[in-house]
Amino acid sequence: MKHERQVELLKRLKGIDPHTPWPLAEHAHRNPAGAYVDPARFEDEKRVLFRRRPQMLGLSCELAQPGAQMTANLGGVPALIVRQTDGSLRGFVNACRHRGAPVSSPDGAARPRITCPYHGWVYDLDGSLAARPYAEDAFADAPKADCALLPVAVAEGYGLIFAQAEGGEGLTAASALAGAESEIADYGLGGYVLVEAREQVVDFNWKLVLDTFCESYHIRALHKNSIAPTYLSEISISDAFGPHPRMIGLLKTVLDELDKPSEADWRFLPHSTTQYIFMPSGLMTYQRDHIEFWRVEPLAVGKTRVRTGIYAPEGPMSEKTLGYWRKNLDILLKVTGEEDFALMAKIHQNLSSGALPELIYGRNEPCLIHLHKAIDAALAAG
Ligand code: FES
Ligand SMILES: [Fe+2]
C-alpha cells in the first residue's frame, strides 16, 4: 500500500474517539433468516453468485511451474486450472470426456500431461486429448478432436487467479476486482510464495464465513481472551470496491502514529489487518508481514468448504522460517476455529430452527451491510 494511501487512512482517524463506534452506516439493516438457511435461495446463490460471477481462487504463485494444477468447485462445477508451458493459465471442467472421472492429479503436483486415473486417457496441458492407450480403435467413431477437456474461463492479473463457470467469456482480473486493482497491485503479490494451505468443512452457511471478517464489533466480547487486548473493537476502516467490502481492523497502537510530528514517518500497515472480501468466494488479508487467503466453497445450505492459505514474501526459507509461518497459520485457524466458527455453527442452527425471523446488522457494521446488499443486488440482477 502506497505511503500516501496509508497517510490518507490515518488522517481519517484524527479526532476519532476509539471507544465510540465509527464509522456508522446510514441505517441498520435486517436480513431474513431465510437468506442463510432457505434451500431454494441457496440454489439461486450457487447458480447466480458462484457459477455466473468471477471467483477468486488464490494467488498466482500457487501455480508457479508449467503443469501445476489447482482444483476448485465453482457453484457445483468441478474446475481444474492448469499452468501452460507458455506461462498462461487454462481452465477445464475437471471431468474426463470418457466416463467423467476427475482428471486432476491427486497431489496437485506439476505434471507434463494430464492423465485420467480411471482408464488412463492422456490429455495435453491445453486440454486436447493426446492418447487413449490400448483403445484407439475402440473409439474410432469418437474423434480425438471432439474429446478435449471442456473449457472453463480463467483470468489472471495482479498476482491473483480467477475463474468463472458460466458466461465468463469477457472475464478479466481487472473487471473481477471492480476498482481494487491499483491497491492490490501495490502489494506486489507476484513476490509471494505459498507456505501452506489447509482445508476444512464447516457446518454453516457460506455467508457466515464472510460475516466473520466483516466487522470488528465482536472483538471485545468474543475474542476477550485472544486478540481483544491488542485490537480496537469500536472503530475500524470500512470501504468497498464495487460489491467487495474492505474491512480494516486496527491495532490499538495505530493512534500513536498520529502523534508523530512528520507525516513522512507515519505508518499504517504495521498497525492494521486489511481484509478484502471479494464477493462471493474470496477473502484476502494483508497482515503486517504476510498474506492470508481464504476460499469459500458452498457445498450445501449448511455446509461449506473453507481453504486457508498463508503466503510469505519470496526468499530463502529455512526450517525456522517455515516454522514461523506455520505457527501463524496455526494461530489464525485456532482463533477463528475455536472462537468465530464454533459460534457460527450455533448461529446456523439457530437460524435453521425457524424461531428467529431475521438478523439485524447495526450501523456500526457497515461492511456487513454492504456485503449483504451486494449479494442481494447480484441475486436480483442474476
Ligand atoms: S473415465 Fe477417464 S479414461 Fe475412462
Ligand atoms: Fe473474529
The answer to whether 308 and 289 have CB atoms below 8 angstroms apart is no
Verify whether ligand 1 is closer than 6 Å to residue 96 (CB atom): yes
Specify the pLDDT at position 288: 87
| Per-residue pLDDT tens over the stretch 211-253 | 999 999 999 999 999 999 999 999 999 999 999 999 999 999 9
Name the residue at shortest CA distance from atom 1 of ligand 1. Answer: 99
Residue 126 has pLDDT above 90, yes or no: yes
Name the residue at shortest CA distance from atom 3 of ligand 1. Answer: 119
Verify whether ligand 1 is closer than 6 Å to residue 117 (CB atom): no
Specify the pLDDT at position 238: 97
Q: What is the pTM for the complete model shown?
A: 0.96
Question: From the CA of 368, how far away is ligand 1's center (Å)?
Answer: 45
- For residues 92 and 100, give the distance between their C-alpha atoms in angstroms, rounded to a whole number: 13
| Per-residue pLDDT tens over the stretch 101-124 | 999 998 878 999 999 999 999 999
Residue 209 has pLDDT above 90, yes or no: yes
Question: From the CA of 233, how far away is ligand 2's center (Å)?
Answer: 10
Residue with cell 450457487: 46
CA of 210, nearest ligand number = 2
CA atoms within 13 A on the CB side of 93: 17
Verify whether ligand 1 is closer than 6 Å to residue 300 (CB atom): no
Verify whether ligand 1 is closer than 6 Å to residue 370 (CB atom): no
Report the percent of the chain where pLDDT is more than 70: 100
Verify whether ligand 1 is closer than 6 Å to residue 98 (CB atom): yes
Verify whether ligand 1 is closer than 6 Å to residue 116 (CB atom): yes
pLDDT band at 167 (very low <50, low <70, confident <90, very high): very high
Name the residue at shortest CA distance from atom 4 of ligand 1. Answer: 119
Specify the pLDDT at position 340: 98
Verify whether ligand 1 is closer than 6 Å to residue 132 (CB atom): no
Q: Which of 23, 33, 27, 32 lies closest to 247 in space, CA to CA?
A: 23
Q: Where are the beta strands (DSSP E) in the chain?
A: 29-32, 55-59, 69-74, 77-83, 89-93, 114-115, 122-123, 129-131, 151-157, 160-164, 192-202, 237-241, 244-250, 272-278, 282-287, 290-300, 303-313, 358-361
Verify whether ligand 1 is closer than 6 Å to residue 119 (CB atom): yes
| Per-residue pLDDT tens over the stretch 56-76 | 999 999 999 999 999 999 999
CA of 135, nearest ligand number = 1
Report the percent of the chain where pLDDT is more than 90: 97
| Per-residue pLDDT tens over the stretch 278-314 | 999 999 999 988 999 999 999 999 999 999 999 999 9
- pLDDT mean over 190-214: 97
Specify the pLDDT at position 107: 83
Q: What is the mean pLDDT of the chain?
A: 97
CA of 101, nearest ligand number = 1
> Is residue 19 exposed (0-12), middle (13-18) or buried (19+ Cβ within 10 Å)?
exposed
